[in-house]
Structures are given as C-alpha cells and as structure tokens.
C-alpha cells in the first residue's frame, strides 16, 4: 500500500489531468503527462493541501507554468484551487491553429476549478507575440465563455492596452502606367522616297 503522502501526490497529478485548460491551449495538451519540479514539496493528506517551493515548474505538453511557490487545494479527491506566485509567475502555451505562444504573467496566478476561472494579480499581463496585449493589476479570465475583465475599480489600477495595426487586404498596389508605344516618324507629303529598283 502506498504511503499517505504518495497517494496524495498521485491524486494531485491525476486531478491535474482533469483540469479544463484555458481557451488558448493546444487541444492535445490535456492528453499529455504532467511533470512538476520544485526544490521541495509538502503534502498534507488531512487538509488536502500540497505546497511546492523553490523554482516550481509545471509542464504538460506545450503548457508551462513557472513560479517561486505553488499551492494545490484538493476537495473530494479533485483539485479545487491552484495558487502560483513568483516574480513574476508565468504561463506559456501554444494555441490551436497558431504559430506564436500565448503568454501571461503576474505576481500571483489563481485558478478556481469549480468556477472555471483564472485570476491574475499584481502587474498582470496577457499577450501573444505580434498581437494585442493588455495589462492591469487585476485580470479575471473566465474560461467558460472566454471573457476577460481587467481593472479593480480603484483610480490607481489602470488598464493598459496595446493594439497592433492590422494589415488591410483592401489596399491594392497602384498599377504602374504602361509605357507609351513608340510610333514611326511621319513623312511629309511629296517627300516619299521611292523604293530602290534593280538596274
């Protein structure tokens, strides 16, 4: 029989496989194994809380989470809440039908499985290379309907958005004018040159 700590760790990994991934992900990621690395781990079967400290790195397919500390709260043998902190904590994943990775970073990233919601706090930022990005001290991302709410309501919590220019397909290049046809010089009447005849 596995020790209690081993059973809890296995339960955490199995439950992570059941997490609905954000709307950005490569769909095949959810079928990939999960690897967690950290300098140390504390597992408490009674409370259902596991804590990972020091250079925490979670990988699942193209999904990568990195931070200084990560706490996983279990409820009824399923993950209820994940909190990742760092300076900053980061998220990277490849979306379907895209060549560029999606990025997110914040001092604190919270995931609520029951509400299907992710909250980014403290210098939060979401962007994709070459595309729009926005940042705020608080960003709430609803994974169920793919909606984002930024800002915390205080005057100091400003929302900053960077919009990249879009390429217009309506602007066609102006064609160059065709070169004028060369015409032979006109010959004044009466000055025609008779054709040479054989002697």
Instruction: Tell me the C-alpha distance between 50 and 73, whole Å.
Output: 7
Domains of the chain: 4-162 (2.60.450.10)
76-135, pLDDT tens digit by residue?
877 788 899 999 999 887 776 667 787 889 999 998 878 878 899 999 998 877 677 889
- Smallest CA-to-CA distance from 19 within 52, 58, 68 is with 58
pLDDT averaged over every residue in the chain: 75
**CB-based contact 55:39 (threshold 8 Å):** yes
Instruction: Tell me the C-alpha distance between 136 and 133, whole Å.
Output: 11
The pTM is what? 0.66
- Residue 5 φ/ψ, nearest 5 degrees: -65, -35
Query: Containing H/E element for 90?
Result: strand 78-93
Instruction: Tell me the C-alpha distance between 170 and 176, whole Å.
Output: 18
How confident is the model at residue 19, as a pLDDT? 43
Distance of alpha carbon 115 from the chain centroid:
21
4-34, pLDDT tens digit by residue?
444 455 444 444 444 434 444 555 666 777 7
The answer to which of 35-39, 114-118, 187-191 has the lowest mean pLDDT is 187-191
């Amino acid at each position: 029989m596995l020790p209690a700590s081993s059973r809890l760790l296995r339960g955490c990994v199995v439950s992570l496989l059941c997490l609905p991934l954000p709307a950005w992900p490569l769909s095949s990621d959810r079928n990939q194994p999960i690897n967690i690395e950290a300098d140390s781990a504390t597992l408490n079967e009674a409370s259902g809380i596991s804590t990972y400290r020091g250079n925490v790195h979670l990988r699942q397919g193209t999904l990568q989470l990195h931070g200084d500390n990560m706490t996983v709260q279990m409820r009824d043998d399923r993950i209820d809440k994940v909190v990742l902190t760092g300076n900053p904590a980061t998220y990277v994943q490849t979306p379907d039908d895209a060549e560029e990775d999606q990025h997110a970073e914040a001092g604190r990233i919270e995931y609520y499985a029951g509400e299907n919601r992710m909250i980014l706090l403290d210098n939060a930022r979401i962007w994709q290379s070459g595309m729009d990005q926005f940042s705020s001290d608080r960003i709430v991302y609803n994974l169920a309907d793919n909606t984002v709410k930024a800002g915390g309501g205080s005057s100091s919590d400003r929302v900053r958005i960077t919009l990249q220019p879009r390429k217009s397909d309506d602007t066609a290049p102006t064609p160059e004018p065709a070169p004028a046809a060369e015409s032979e010089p006109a010959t004044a009447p009466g000055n025609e040159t008779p054709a040479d005849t054989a002697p």
